[in-house]
Structure 1
Amino acid sequence: MKKCAVLIGFIIFLGVMIGCSENKETFNDEYITFEVESNTIELTNQSGFDLDILSLEISYPLNEEKLNNSNAKREVVEFLEETKVKSNETKEISIPHNLKEGIEVVDLEIDLKGNIIEKNEKVPFNIGGSLSAIVSNP
């Protein structure tokens, strides 16, 4: 009888532990995609999280010799601040037509900073690099 009570107690304990475990979804910045359509960049958030207090800086180096120098002075062509993009939402960003000669939209560098909203917490993230390396349709 005692063995049966212990076994039943163990089964109930195991059921409670499995039933109460939380499958926590984790943020993956690969689900934030960029697509280029002529002079428009479409930023799509399929991460499962809302993005808050986003700032997006789009730029290129002022001098072609400094393309590989991350500290080189840059020409900022677009800057968005404190934008929100909800989960499964797309935001279109227009690029000015007056880019320096020889610079294409996919040659631009981006720096996207913001927070993901996870329950009641805001967790910072950052995506940066050459737009040609991170676009879905180069």
Structure 2
Amino acid sequence: MSLTYKEANDEMLSILKTAWDTTGHKMFWEAVRDQREIDQSPWATVVVRHAAGQQDTLGGIGNRQFLRLGTIVVTINTPSSSGLSEGYNLAKVVSDAYEGVSSPNGIWFRNVRINELGREGTFFQTNVVIDFEYHETK
């Protein structure tokens, strides 16, 4: 399947939203301007970063495939007073949404990993990092 940058971004974030909504916690989306009123509840942010791409196949216009690669980074913030358990539990929700799966339209997710970042103010930060790849035909 062929996906544009926007279509792929929307599909990747839709997978995250479906998984994260089950937690009942706030998710702040990069492209949405909002007031980030933070209390002592867990919350998260997400960024999608395209990194590289290349022409994968030869052919005429409309038949060439271009490989798109990048990374999704979900940063989970949990109150530092709750220890690491809550951060790990929420990180598992995110990692389970992407690990070993592909999206309905052909985005492959690989190298899902959890990185403990440490304390930031009154929160402990944990990243879930997901590599992705997909193709665009043009």
Give the TM-score taking structure 1 as reference length: 0.28
Give the TM-score taking structure 2 as reference length: 0.28
